[in-house]
Structure 1
Amino acid sequence: MTKVQKPGTLLAGITGLYIAQSVIGGVTWTSLPAVMREAGVSLDRIGLVSLIALPWVLKFLWAPMVERYRLPRNGGNRSGTIVIFGGLASAVGVIAAGVLDPANWMSLFAVLVVVAFAASTVDIACDGFAVQSLAQKHHGWANAAQVGGAYLGSAVGGGLFLYLVGTSSWQIAAWSMAALVVLLGLPFLFVAARVPTEQSREHVPSLLHSLRRPALRQGLFAAAIFVVALKVSLGMIGPFLVDAGVDLATIGILNGTGSLVIGSAAAIFGGACVRAWGTKPVLILALILQASLLSLLAVSRITEALPVSVIMIIAIASSSGVMAFGFVALYAQFMRLSDSRQAGVDFTLFQCADAAVSIVGGVIAGQIAEVLGYGIFFSAAAALALGAVPFIAKVATQESYSLSVSDDAHVAP
Structure 2
Amino acid sequence: MRHLHSPIAVVLMLGGLYVGQSIIGGVTFSALPSVLRDRGVSLDQIGLTYLAVLPWVLKFLWAPAIERYRLPPVGPNRSRSIVFIGGMISALGLVLLGMIGPTSFVPLLGILMLIAFAASTVDIACDAEAVESLSERHCGWVNAAQVGGAYLGAAIGSGLYLILVARFNWTWATISMAVMLVLLGLPFLRSPAVDSADKRVHRPSLRDALGRIEMRKGLVLAALYAFTQKWGLSMLGPFLIDSGLDLTSLGILNGLGGLIAGFACALLGGALVRAWGTRSIMLLALVLQALALCGLALAARSGGVPQSILLVLALASSSGILALGFVALYAQFMSLSDPRQAGVDFTLLQCMDALVSMAGGVGAGWISQHYGYGVFFGLNGALALAAVIPVALLSGRSAEARSRHENAPAGELASHVP
Instruction: Map residues 179-328 of structure 1 onto 2, 5 A cutoff.
Output: 179-191=179-191, 201-238=200-237, 240-241=239-240, 244-248=244-248, 250-275=249-274, 277-301=276-300, 304-328=303-327
Say yes or no: does 1:100 pair with 2:99: no
Distance in 1, matches of 2:294 and 2:351, equals 29
CA deviations 1:82-130 (Å, max 9, x no partner) are: 223312332344456663369x7x9876654433221110011223344
The number of residues matched between the two structures is: 395
Q: In the alignment, residue 284 of structure 2 is paired with which amino acid? A: L
CA deviations 1:317-354 (Å, max 9, x no partner) are: 11111101211222232233333443332222211211
Secondary structure (helix, strand or coil) at the match of 1:191 reads coil
CA-CA distance at 1:230 after TM superposition: 0.6
Distance in 2, matches of 1:290 and 1:140, equals 20
Say yes or no: does 1:339 pair with 2:338: yes
- Check 1:217–1:8 CA distance in 2 against 1; reply closer, same or farther (3 A cut): closer
Contact 1:37–1:242 under 8 Å retained in 2: no
Instruction: Map residues 9-408 of structure 1 onto 2, 5 A cutoff.
Output: 11-28=11-28, 52-73=52-73, 77-94=77-94, 99-100=101-102, 111-132=111-132, 142-143=142-143, 145-161=145-161, 174-191=174-191, 201-238=200-237, 240-241=239-240, 244-248=244-248, 250-275=249-274, 277-301=276-300, 304-366=303-365, 377-397=376-396
Q: In the alignment, residue 68 of structure 1 is paired with which amino acid? A: R
- Check 1:184–1:270 CA distance in 2 against 1; reply closer, same or farther (3 A cut): closer
Q: In the alignment, residue 81 of structure 2 is paired with which amino acid? A: T
CA-CA distance at 1:28 after TM superposition: 4.5
Contact 1:44–1:367 under 8 Å retained in 2: no
- Check 1:342–1:287 CA distance in 2 against 1; reply closer, same or farther (3 A cut): same
Q: Which runs of 5+ in 1 are unaligned?
A: 400-413
CA-based RMSD of the aligned residues comes to 4.4
CA-CA distance at 1:66 after TM superposition: 1.0
- Check 1:138–1:300 CA distance in 2 against 1; reply closer, same or farther (3 A cut): closer
Distance in 2, matches of 1:200 and 1:257, equals 49
Provide TM-score, normalisation by structure 2: 0.74
Q: In the alignment, residue 149 of structure 2 is paired with which amino acid? A: G
- Check 1:189–1:40 CA distance in 2 against 1; reply closer, same or farther (3 A cut): same
Secondary structure (helix, strand or coil) at the match of 1:205 reads coil
CA-CA distance at 1:179 after TM superposition: 3.2
- Check 1:108–1:316 CA distance in 2 against 1; reply closer, same or farther (3 A cut): farther
Distance in 1, matches of 2:109 and 2:367, equals 21
CA-CA distance at 1:159 after TM superposition: 4.2
Distance in 2, matches of 1:58 and 1:136, equals 27
- Check 1:139–1:323 CA distance in 2 against 1; reply closer, same or farther (3 A cut): closer
Distance in 2, matches of 1:277 and 1:107, equals 49
More deviation in 130-139 or 115-124? 130-139
- Check 1:254–1:37 CA distance in 2 against 1; reply closer, same or farther (3 A cut): farther
- Check 1:209–1:164 CA distance in 2 against 1; reply closer, same or farther (3 A cut): same
